[in-house]
Amino acid sequence: MKLLSPSATSTTHISSSFFLPNGFQNHGSSSATTFKFSKNQGRCVGNDEGTQITAKFELKPPPYPLNALEPIMSQNTFEYHWGKHHRAYVDNLNKQIEGTDLDGKSLEETIIMSYNNGDILPAFNNAAQVWNHDFFWESMKPGGGGKPSGELLKLIERDFGSFEKFVEQFKLAASTQFGSGWAWLAYKENRLDVGNAVNPLATEEDKKLVVLKSPNAVNPLVWNHHHPLLTIDVWEVY
Amino acid sequence: MAVRTLLSKKTLTTVLRNDPKPIGAAITQSRGLHVFTLPDLAYDYGALEPVISGEIMQIHHQKHHQTYITNYNKALEQLHDSVAKADSLTTVKLQNAIKFNGGGHINHSIFWKNLAPVREGGGEPPKEALGWAIDTNFGSLEALIQKVNAEGAALQGSGWVWLALDKELKRLVVETTANQDPLVTKGTSLVPLLGIDVWEHAYYLQYKNVRPDYLKNIWKVINWKYASEVYENAF
């Protein structure tokens, strides 16, 4: 059995001593004998049978305890949202890609491939929702809030006028997404507001911050030249 | 305008339902614009327990459905103005809000009639014309229920699952629509017999993330009498 070293991303729950007789323990997981790591691409390799290597996505825990965002977001909410919904997306994605040509790809690759330029394939919903929720937990932190600083604040003031105006615009997008969806702050590499139009001579001035909203599982990764910075889950806000 | 606000919602609905030339309509008729109001349920909020909790029914009816109606009325007023001013940009921009909020009003109005307490026939299987049509099109009622539940559970995001009559092809079909799209967006000859709301707000407080359990249970309060009426009067 090949031992892989744990990645740099650690959570507050994994103690300094990883090594236990039966393998790595992943908090919150019932399967103690399966090797589980957080690699940047969200892959993990290895299982308890020892004879077969299967590549599967794993449910990454939020980078803080489930009660860390109280009273704004309760532990109970996290137990459902992360523990059941997010987990179901991961489990269902693994089931869906097994044995297909998506098996073995990174999460981002899976998303782009199954988005299929808009002609969405079945795995997209689960893959994108896994990614979206990972990103969402990272978009929040205990003791967070306040204002950004430095370069980001400068760009926000440049592209929205002020931080307050950005928040207003973001709240408007978030509260007007019909049905299920997400609201995003993203960095767009192209000032043109026309679909996938590319400016071949893009300069620094062509890039800007934008507020976007997307339906269901869609995220900015599938729109060329968009880099998500922050998201909130607005399923059934409106 | 002032007279309208003096009437309570309850009074207004009673008046609009019972009176052939009600005050409410007279006010709106002077503007030429009908104002939609929240239809009453034919049963108490708690009457569908334990299948659907009273808490859900109340919030679903008084908050969600009411909000669709409020926003539908707002959008229609804006539409009315934009048409009068020949402001095509606004007219077209409003289409999404009208489809969403108007659709929400249409769909929920059907949904309340699709449900009935057990003591009033909720859950009693369909007979006669609709019963035979179900057997012909799906093999059995159980097969239909399985199909509806499978499609409802698989629906991604928010939407509805329908048992519909295709008037043109003269057959029954199971369809799904996204968000609040009314059934006609899937086919102009489709008549909704039964719609099941699979938005999370329809079941989450009680069933949490287990939508399949909600779908399994809801058949105990489905009002097949209403669906039969619609079916028999469709042709």
Q: Is residue A81 part of a domain?
A: yes
Q: ipTM value of the model? A: 0.80
- Of A143, A168, A185, the one marking the end of a domain is A143
Q: How confident is the model at residue A202 (pLDDT cuts 50, 70, 90)?
A: low
What is the pLDDT at residue A32?
36
**Could you tell me the two tokens for B34?**
């009908």
Same-domain pairing of A83 and A156: no
Q: How confident is the model at residue A192 (pLDDT cuts 50, 70, 90)?
A: low
Among A107-121, B5-19, B30-44, B48-62, name the one with the lowest average pLDDT: B5-19
| Interchain CB contact of B178 with A (< 8 Å) | yes
Q: Is residue A95 part of a domain?
A: yes
Same-domain pairing of A158 and A99: no
Residue among A221, A143, A217 nearest A187 (CA): A221
Q: Is residue A3 part of a domain?
A: no
Q: Is residue A61 part of a domain?
A: no
Give the mean pLDDT of A2-28.
36
Same-domain pairing of A122 and A150: no
CATH number at residue A81: 1.10.287.990
CB pairs under 8 A between A and B: 34
What is the pLDDT at residue A200?
63
Detail the residues of B annotated as belonging to a binding site for Mn(2+). Answer: 60, 108, 197, 201
- Of A143, A164, A183, the one marking the end of a domain is A143
Structure-token match 């990972």, residue found: A134
Question: How large a percentage of chain B has pLDDT more than 70?
Answer: 87
Same-domain pairing of A233 and A150: yes
Same-domain pairing of A137 and A207: no
Same-domain pairing of A139 and A151: no
Q: Is residue A230 part of a domain?
A: yes
Dihedral sign from CA coordinates of B188, B190, B194, B197: negative
Q: How confident is the model at residue A207 (pLDDT cuts 50, 70, 90)?
A: confident
CATH number at residue A182: 3.55.40.20
Please tell me the distance from the alpha carbon of residue B199 to that of residue B180, in angstroms, as a whole number: 9
Beta-carbon separation of B209 and A84 below 8 A: yes
Same-domain pairing of A124 and A154: no
Q: Is residue A125 part of a domain?
A: yes
Residue type, A71: P
**Could you tell me the two tokens for A44?**
């993990």
Residues of B in contact with A93 (CB under 8 A): none
Residues of A in contact with B100 (CB under 8 A): 178
Interval B113-165: pLDDT, tens: 999 999 999 999 999 999 999 999 999 999 999 999 999 999 999 999 999 99
Beta-carbon separation of B208 and A84 below 8 A: yes
Same-domain pairing of A94 and A164: no
What is the pLDDT at residue A28?
37
The answer to whether residue B53 scores a pLDDT higher than 60 is: yes
Facing A216 at nearest CB: one of B157, B200, B208: B157
Facing A179 at nearest CB: one of B158, B208, B209: B158
Q: Is residue A46 part of a domain?
A: no
The answer to whether A59 touches A87, Cβ cutoff 8 Å, is yes
Beta-carbon separation of B157 and A235 below 8 A: yes
Same-domain pairing of A178 and A108: no
Same-domain pairing of A131 and A161: no
**0.90 surpassed by pTM:** no
Better-scored residue on pLDDT, A89 or A27:
A89
Domain with A78 in it: 70-143
Please tell me the distance from the alpha carbon of residue B62 to that of residue B38, in angstroms, as a whole number: 8
Same-domain pairing of A98 and A179: no
How many distinct structural domains can be found in chain A?
2
**Could you tell me the two tokens for A96?**
């869906």
| Interchain CB contact of A125 with B (< 8 Å) | yes
What is the pLDDT at residue A238?
74
Ordered domains of chain B (ranges, CATH): 50-234 (3.55.40.20)
The answer to whether residue B62 scores a pLDDT higher than 60 is: yes
Residue among A3, A221, A18 nearest A106 (CA): A221
Beta-carbon separation of B157 and A215 below 8 A: yes
Chain B CA closest to residue A88:
B209
Same-domain pairing of A117 and A162: no
Beta-carbon separation of B180 and A179 below 8 A: yes
Facing B209 at nearest CB: one of A80, A215, A217: A80
Q: How confident is the model at residue B187 (pLDDT cuts 50, 70, 90)?
A: very high
| Interchain CB contact of B96 with A (< 8 Å) | yes
Q: Please report the DSSP string for chain A in residue order.
A: -PPPPP-S---TTS-S----TTS---TT-S-TTS-----TT-EEE--TTSS---EEE--PPPSS-TTTTTTTS-HHHHHHIIIIIIHHHHHHHHHHHTTSTTTT--HHHHHHHHHGGGS--THHHHHHHHHHHHHHHHT--TT--S---HHHHHHHHHHHSSHHHHHHHHHHHHHT--SSEEEEEEEES----STT---TT--GGG-EEEEEEEETT--GGGSTTEEEEEEEE-TT--
b/e A69-83 (16+ beta carbons within 10 angstroms → b): beeeeeeeebeebbb
Q: Is residue A164 part of a domain?
A: yes
| Interchain CB contact of A114 with B (< 8 Å) | no
Residue type, B63: K
Sheet holding A208-215, edge to edge: A208-215, A181-188, A226-233
